[in-house]
Amino acid sequence: MLTLLASVTSPFARKVRIVADILGAADRITLQPTTTADITGPLRKINPLGKIPALVLEDGNPIFDSRVIVEYLETTFGDGRIIPRDPDKRFRQLTLAALAEGVNDALLLISYEGRYREPNQVSQKWLDHQLGKVTRGLDYISRHLEEFKAPGIAAIGLACALGYADWRKQLDWRKLYPSLVPWLDAFDKAVPAWQRTKAPEMD
């Protein structure tokens, strides 16, 4: 059995869980609920960065971060549907996935500004800097939506970023990028794992 250290609300962990579900590998993975605030638990021994998700293989070896875990799952259980094998398609898909990932990273940093700083320390300049990444990223993505097809890794990463923004409300992406609304509805219909990986707290 593989062990995935994760929380049910992490967008990066959700991406990994969706990939595992699509590849039929979900029942090979035990989810070990992990909070990154727990500094004495196993996470920091497994991943010195103290970030989730982290996967522990049967031989005890760790795999992180989420992008490498996805590569591992695709290599072990996949057939090129998540990350294409053809080099041109592969690197285009990985580049778009990196863009969705960057949007997710910036959304997380916006949330963390409120979590890790006292109210009088919050930097609007920094928030605007991160929000710029989100808006430029989503603007580019909404003009290239035909390349974000499920079950490709770019589409999965994008869905997880949008789901995270719905939950944490860093911006009203539904109003700013209306074409992403039917896109996420279509993703929801095409990928049953989307509903299966929704955290109760996200409602």
Ligand X SMILES: N[C@@H](CCC(=O)N[C@@H](CS)C(=O)NCC(=O)O)C(=O)O
Q: Is residue 53 reached through a cis peptide bond, with omega within 30 degrees of 0 on the bond before it?
A: yes
- Beta-strand ranges (E) seen in the chain are 2-6, 29-33, 54-56, 62-63
Burial class (CB in 10 A: 0-12, 13-18, 19+), 167: middle
# residues near ligand X by CB under 6 A: 12
Q: How far is the CB of 178 from ligand X (least distance, A)?
A: 27
Q: Is 66 in the site for ligand X (CB under 6 A)?
A: yes
Cα 103 to Cα 22, 30, 33, 40, 42, distances in angstroms = 23, 28, 25, 30, 28
Taking residues 69 to 108 in sequence order and writing x for each that binds ligand X by CB under 6 A, - otherwise, the string is: ---------------------------------------x
Cα 128–chain centre separation? 22
Q: Is 10 in the site for ligand X (CB under 6 A)?
A: yes
Q: Is 111 in the site for ligand X (CB under 6 A)?
A: no
Give the one residue of 42, 50, 62, 102 binding ligand X; rule: CB under 6 A: 50
Q: Is 147 in the site for ligand X (CB under 6 A)?
A: no
Contact residues toward ligand X (CB under 6 A) are 10-12, 36, 50-53, 65-67, 108
